[in-house]
Amino acid sequence: GQNIDQPTEMTATEGAIVQINCTYQTSGFNGLFWYQQHAGEAPTFLSYNVLDGLEEKGRFSSFLSRSKGYSYLLLKELQMKDSASYLCAVNPGGYNKLIFGAGTRLAVHP
């Protein structure tokens, strides 16, 4: 089966750092994606990992360990606008299909 797990909700303080974890078990693996989604809006692409290690993009970083089936998204210097859902998704291979986790709703408070 295909399974992607991430926490349902998290809260953090403005200016702080938060780490959102994602574990996956899929039939194949051809990359892991993080998307940001504000309520009722389209998911927007944040990051992509296909090899083990850390990818950094400004305030956002994403880490992958393929042997552990584990990834995390690290958000630094949190801003109020970072309040959103963060979706972890895996491409199991073959074509552009993405299998999504249920998403982590992050609330940033002052």
Kindly tell me which residue out of 53, 58, 67, 95 binds other proteins, with binding defined by CB under 8 A. Answer: 95
Kindly tell me which residue out of 31, 55, 60, 92 binds other proteins, with binding defined by CB under 8 A. Answer: 31
Kindly tell me which residue out of 87, 90, 106, 108 binds other proteins, with binding defined by CB under 8 A. Answer: 87
- DSSP letters for the chain: --EEE--SEEEEETT--EEEEEEEE-S--S-EEEEEE-TTS--EEEEEE-SSEEEEETTEEEEEETTTTEEEEEE-S--GGG-EEEEEEE--SSSS--EE---EEEEEE-
101 lines the binding site for other proteins (CB under 8 A): yes
33 lines the binding site for other proteins (CB under 8 A): yes
29 lines the binding site for other proteins (CB under 8 A): no
Which residues lie near other proteins (CB under 8 A)?
4, 31, 33, 40-45, 48, 87, 89, 91, 95-98, 100-103
